[in-house]
Amino acid sequence: MRLFLDQMIDRDVAEALRATGHDVESAAHAGLARADDLEILEYCTKQDRVLVTLDEHFGNWTVVKLTAHAGVIRLKVHPTGSRNIANTVVPHDIGKTFLRKRQSKADSCTALRSSAQMS
């Protein structure tokens, strides 16, 4: 799956996702470390990449359909350290989870929670 990691997600998470076979680009690598939400979403759309973010605003954008996009995966993890993020996204097989939810709903925003928050 072609993924784009938002500014708040560091390279350790990118490496963990690459190790499971994903094509991952980050905001820092794309020169978008200081870009606003709209710039990030536009870039992801042009590159046909699913945005992986901690930013709750992206979930609201997909509900109101402000713009077309390849998809958004909003992570709900606490604490937001790279180890906790990687432990949340890698075991879920992020590509299969996202595609399954995307096929079953009209919108294309998937939220993943850390296992600590599920209990």
pLDDT in tens, 13-55: 898 889 988 999 999 999 999 998 888 888 998 999 988 888 8
The residue type found at 53 is T
The domains of the chain are located at: 2-118
User: To the nearest whole percent, how much of the chain has pLDDT over 90?
Assistant: 20
pLDDT at 100 over 50: no
Name the nearest CA neighbour of 39 among 14, 74, 31, 75: 31
Tokens of 62: 């997909």
- Tokens 């989870």 belong to 97
CA distance 45 to 31: 16
What's the pLDDT at 43?
93
pTM for the structure as a whole: 0.72
What sign for the dihedral angle of Cα 111, 37, 6, 68?
positive
Task: Give the pLDDT of residue 28.
Answer: 92
Mean residue pLDDT of the chain comes to 73
